[in-house]
């Protein structure tokens, strides 16, 4: 988007070579000295911290797009430049991600992605996630790919500002009966072991839900139409790759 004049000024001289080649030896020496002085005066701790945060963001972004990968596989960990999956390492990453999320100034950008960290139910920092500093301002929470077995119930009644919740691939066998997420628009429960469809009490606490993903579970039947009718804004429902044999006719009228 540079204008022609600026591009002409930055372009090398066509007959006498580049501007760098035309620099006099003294000018080149001063330029190099200035660069060395700038490097000498830089704060090595600040540079290292910035580099570590940048690298961690790249790792987390890559993992969120490849949630099928097994982080217990040493080859996968090496591929993403990760160390051992020890508890201390997980807690270090957890603190870093929490701090990054808390420092985001704009509420609609507060996304806490804790995917594929091999966290157990007990290791989820529920109190910190639901704190005054983060809680109601959190826009998206992803716990995908962790061995939770069950969803921490505090999260689904106190994160009242949450718009997106991803608990796919968490080895869930059921979902809590009571939900209170009045602004939640997208709920991902795919690739778990859920056997029973969510009950009416679940949908009653999700009045704004538009996207519900139950793909790849162990469901044998659909939620009753009376329950699904509570989701007046539902636009997307995926129950593929389950054990459902009959879909009620009333579903077509929702």
Question: What pLDDT digit, counting tens, does each position of 159-209 carry?
Answer: 999 999 999 999 999 999 999 999 999 999 999 999 998 989 999 999 999
Give pLDDT tens digits for 104-137: 877 667 999 999 999 999 999 999 999 988 888 9
Is residue 120 within 8 A of residue 146, CB to CB? The reply is: yes
Helices (H) and strands (E) in the chain, counts: 9, 6
Bridge-based pairing of strands 236-238 and 186-188 is unpaired
Query: Can you tell me which residue has the tokens 């969803």?
Result: 151
The model's pTM is 0.67
The mean pLDDT of the chain is: 77
pLDDT at 73: 57
pLDDT at 63: 54
Give pLDDT tens digits for 135-159: 889 999 999 999 999 999 999 999 9
pLDDT at 193: 97
């Amino acid at each position: 988007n540079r204008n022609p004049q600026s591009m002409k000024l930055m372009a090398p001289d066509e007959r006498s070579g580049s501007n760098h080649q035309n620099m006099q030896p003294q000018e080149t020496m001063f330029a190099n000295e200035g660069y060395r002085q700038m490097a000498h005066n830089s704060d090595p701790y600040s540079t290292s911290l910035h580099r570590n945060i940048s690298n961690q963001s790249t790792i987390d972004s890559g993992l969120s797009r490849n949630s099928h990968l097994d982080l217990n596989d040493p080859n996968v960990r090496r591929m993403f430049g990760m160390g051992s999956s020890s508890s201390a390492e997980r807690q270090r990453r957890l603190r870093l991600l929490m701090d990054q999320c808390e420092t985001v100034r704009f509420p609609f950008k507060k996304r806490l992605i804790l995917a594929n960290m091999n966290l157990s139910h007990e290791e989820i920092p529920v109190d910190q996630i639901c704190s005054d500093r983060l809680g109601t301002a959190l826009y998206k929470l992803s716990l995908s790919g962790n061995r939770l077995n069950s969803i921490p119930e505090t999260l689904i009644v106190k994160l009242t500002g949450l718009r997106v919740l991803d608990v796919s691939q968490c080895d869930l066998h059921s979902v809590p009966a009571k939900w209170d997420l009045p602004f939640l628009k997208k709920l991902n429960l795919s690739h778990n072991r859920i056997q029973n469809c969510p009950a009416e009490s679940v949908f009653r606490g999700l009045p704004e839900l538009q996207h519900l993903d139950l793909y790849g579970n162990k469901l044998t039947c659909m939620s009753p139409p009376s329950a699904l009718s509570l989701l007046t804004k539902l636009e997307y429902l995926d129950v593929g790759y389950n054990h459902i044999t009959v879909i009620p006719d009333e579903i077509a009228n929702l």
